[in-house]
Amino acid sequence: MRLFNTLTRTEEDFVPADGTTVRMYTCGLTVYARGHIGNFRTFISLDVLRRALRHQEGYGMRHVMNFTDVDDKTINASQQAGMSLRDYTDLYIKAFRDDCATLGLEPVEENPRATDEANLRAMVDMIAQLKTRGHTYESDGSTYFRIATLPDYGKLARLDHEGIQAGARVDTDTYDKQDARDFVLWKATKAGEPTWDYGCGPGRPGWHIECSAMALRLLGDGPIDIHGGGIDLIFPHHENEIAQAEGATGRQFSRFWVHVEFLNLDHEKMSKSLGNVYNVQDILDRGFKASALRYALISVHYRKQLTFSFEILTQADAALTRLTDFLARIDRVTGGDAHPEIAARVAAARDEFRSKIASDLNVPGGLGVMFELLREMNAAMDQDGGRALGAADAALIRDAFEEFDKVLGVVALRRREEAAPPVPEEEIRALIDERRQARRDRQFAKADTIRAGLEARGVILEDSPTGTRWKRK
């Protein structure tokens, strides 16, 4: 597999360092609010990477994705809500897990949170290592990283020391730093803030130290294989992670860096600070399925910006309907002789799909391969009254599409959605009974209203001499 490595700005062959298990760290959500679909473009893209490494390349996975549950935003939001930091962030960790399940993300092996004691102690230990190596100084009870001590600082973002100035992307908090370019490792206690003391004095960790310490604690000594996140994290967050990890250990932090481009809304980056965000529930409330959202978010290459619209969700839904209708048609092929050319064509499509995915996660190319095979197989089934394919051909085709979906994760998600009734079954049965009674009482308008109400919610009633049955719209 080849991956674009942000560190080298080139595509490189990827094999895990030990040849068998990928050690991967991806930055998770800062849990002061519900994640928006721009966040989930990154999370789903990295989920596809995980799936490709696991299911297509056959590697074992040791994947860590953190929760940032202490920073200015989480503290301020919890205080405004009148809740403890832990209780408040628990709410959004649960919401994130629910959204991940809704969107079909595979569970990762570890989801650490910054405020767990083991992680806080790991941060303090890393700060002690940095101090020993001469990379820190203290000011007003806080501990800072002195970037002038690291000559190659800026290598990920391609910055030079002189070009790094105080600004929106640099930690310019009100603490007394010696150089605006430096960043905080441990913040001294402020009134009303949560505080811990494991050796750096009372206070709390800076944002950047969290990920460096948790990655190495849970994945072992560097270099880890892959570190990933959104493109907005390259500087300062990932740059500072490198400074901390490599400054403390003297070893490379991560071999590969993978970054996902922005999701835009009306050609403007989607961000909470701009107030132009949709979360997953917003999309569902508008009548779209999570599978359509997942499909839309992977339909453009992860290193290209994606402009979101409800039109692309409609297009994604149509594509998924076409796909599931085709697979249902394949399932109805139960007899007939094998076609002499089908096996070779399916094998070629599988090889081409693998090649696309292995080429820097070219999902749009993989989708193109999949739909071209779908078109050709539909055409084959249209021949000879549907007898051009045999049951053995259908099994090969079905297996190929299942292989594609192990990477994409859209068909299984759509099928799960379709298996679940849009209205609880007990409610449907009660409304059918109510409608039956209304018809007996000759209250036909009421009966029609019940039918129409269920149809608006995605349930169609079908009457027959033996009774009334329901199906999804």
The whole-number average pLDDT for the span 276-284 is 93
- Domain count of the fold of the chain: 3
Tell me the pLDDT tens digit for each residue of 73-100: 999 999 999 999 999 999 999 999 999 9
**E strand or H helix that includes residue 21:** strand 21-26
Classify residue 304: in a domain, yes or no.
no
Average pLDDT value for residue range 418-430? 86
| 165 & 195 share domain | yes
* Omega before residue 223 within 30° of 0, cis: yes
Is pLDDT above 70 for 106?
Answer: yes
Q: What is the predicted pLDDT for the residue at 168?
A: 37
The pLDDT of residue 219: 98
**In the predicted model, is pLDDT for residue 164 greater than 60?**
no
**One domain for residues 38 and 128:** yes
Domain boundary among 242, 257, 274: 274
pLDDT at residue 3, rounded to an integer? 98
Instruction: Examine the domain organization and report whether 409 and 455 are in the same domain.
Output: no
Residues 235 and 143 in one domain: yes
Cβ–Cβ < 8 Å for 74, 68: yes
User: Based on the domain organization, do 169 and 202 belong to the same domain?
Assistant: yes
pLDDT at 162: 56
| Amino acid identity, position 78 | S
362 within a domain of the structure (yes/no): yes
Give the pLDDT of residue 473: 72
pLDDT at 177 over 90: no
Average pLDDT over residues 255-283: 87
Beta strands at 21-26 and 60-65: parallel, antiparallel or unpaired: parallel
Distance, CA of 211 to CA of 228 (rounded, Å): 11
Sheet holding 268-269, edge to edge: 268-269, 263-265, 306-308
Q: Are residues 125 and 168 in the same domain?
A: yes
Q: Is there a domain that residue 364 lies in?
A: yes
C-alpha 256: how far from chain center: 18
Does residue 165 carry a pLDDT above 60?
no
Same domain, 338 and 248: no
**CATH number of the domain residue 202 falls in:** 3.40.50.620
Peptide bond into 236 cis (omega under 30): yes
Quote the radius of gyration of the chain (alpha carbons, Å). Answer: 27
d(CA 109, CA 14): 21
- 179 and 323 assigned to the same domain: no
* Domain limits for position 401: 319-415
pLDDT of residue 472: 76
Residue 39 inside a domain? The answer is yes
Q: Is the pLDDT of residue 171 over 60?
A: no
- Based on the domain organization, do 446 and 369 belong to the same domain? no
Annotate 372-423 with DSSP letters as a single string.
HHHHHHHHHHHGGGGTSS-HHHHHHHHHHHHHHHHHH--HHHHHHHHHS-SS
Residue ending a domain, choose from 415, 437, 454: 415
Two tokens at 412? 């299984």
pLDDT tens figures, 358-387: 999 999 999 999 999 999 999 988 886 666
pLDDT of 166 over the 60 cut: no
Residue 301 lies in a domain: no
* Residue 143 sits in the same domain as residue 232: yes
**284 belongs to a structural domain:** no
Residues 191, 120, single domain; the answer is yes
Closest by CA to 145, choosing from 223, 225, 6, 245, is 245
Distance CA 371, CA 401 (A): 10
CA distances from 62 to 112, 399, 425, 461 (A): 13, 27, 40, 48
Which of the listed residues 366, 393, 415 is the one where a domain comes to its end? 415
Helix (H) or strand (E) holding 328: helix 310-331
Contact by Cβ (8 Å): 154, 161: yes
User: What helix, strand, coil percent values describe the chain, rounded to 5?
Assistant: 50, 15, 35
CATH number of 366's domain? 1.20.120
Residue 174: per-residue pLDDT: 47
Q: Tell which wins on pLDDT, 60 or 177.
A: 60
Rounded CA-CA distance 232/234 in Å is: 6
What's the mean per-residue pLDDT of the chain?
A: 93
Query: Average pLDDT, stretch 465-471?
Result: 84
Residues in the chain: 473
Residue 167 domain-assigned (yes or no) = yes
- Res 163: pLDDT: 54
- For position 86, what pLDDT does the model report? 97
Is residue 3 packed enough to be buried (19+ CB in 10 Å), middle (13-18) or exposed (0-12)?
buried
Query: Is residue 312 one of the residues assigned to a domain?
Result: no
**Do 268 and 388 fall within a single domain?**
no
Residues 9-53: tens digit of each pLDDT: 999 999 999 999 999 999 999 999 999 999 999 999 999 999 999
What would the two tokens of residue 291 be?
Answer: 């599978």
